[in-house]
Amino acid sequence: MQNIGIFCSASDELKDVFEKEAIKLSEWMGKNGKTLINGGSNQGLMLVFSNVVRKTGGRCIGVIPENFSERGWHSNSTDEKIIVKNLSERKEVIKKRSDVLIAFPGGIGTMDELFDAWSSYSLGFHDKKIILVNIEGFFTPLIQQLNVFRQEKFLHDFLPNPMLIVNSAEDCIKQLEIMDRFVKKD
């Protein structure tokens, strides 16, 4: 399990805890020679992940829509920049190139990526596990709403569920290490 796709915020106005957790995960990725695949932005947690992964020995692939790149919103902290036409294509490239997907706290774009990855998994378009990192309960209201979906039969238990929910970067790293050991045994 080499390539880790991360959905996260491009906002620079976040609480410090989110950046600290991003640094923990990205340091682990870099030190273990992992490749980050993200949205390629030069802002927020996307930039934090790119900078730290590269600084600590990993690789970074940024997937950015051409109109974002034309506006100068692309990170220079990537080993490879993939220019795509739109956000839909960006999601497809990240899913295709990743061995596992991680949703870190973020806004509407992160939610779009998370739900796209989950629904496409449930319908058999990919087989990547998704780790939801619920730092300081950020995703708790979403998890509660998902339980309402399940109770009201809008979310069916017979569909495969790729989601693992963890509460910190440390817990995320533990899950990645378990997945890594499992993959190496095959």
Tokens 């600290």 — which residue? 20
Whether the per-residue pLDDT at 186 is higher than 70: the answer is: no
Answer for the pair 28, 52: CB distance below 8 angstroms, yes or no.
no
Whether the per-residue pLDDT at 72 is higher than 90: the answer is: no
Model confidence pTM above 0.75: yes
Condensed to tens digits (0 to 9), the pLDDT of residues 131-179 reads 999 999 999 999 999 989 889 988 877 766 788 999 999 999 999 999 9
Structural domains in the chain (count): 1
Condensed to tens digits (0 to 9), the pLDDT of residues 94-125 reads 999 999 999 999 999 999 999 999 999 988 89
Residue 1's pLDDT is 79
- Treating both helix axes as pointing N-terminal to C-terminal, what angle do 87-97 and 108-122 enclose, rounded to 10 degrees? 60
Q: Which two tokens mark 56?
A: 């600590």
Percent pLDDT > 70 in the chain is 96
pLDDT average, residue stretch 58-65: 96
Condensed to tens digits (0 to 9), the pLDDT of residues 9-52 reads 989 999 999 999 999 999 999 999 999 999 988 899 999 999 99
Residue 69's pLDDT is 82
What's the CATH number where 51 sits?
A: 3.40.50.450
Q: How far, in Å, CA of 113 to CA of 90, rounded?
A: 9
Residue 184's pLDDT is 62
Residue 185's pLDDT is 57
**Domain around 132:** 3-185
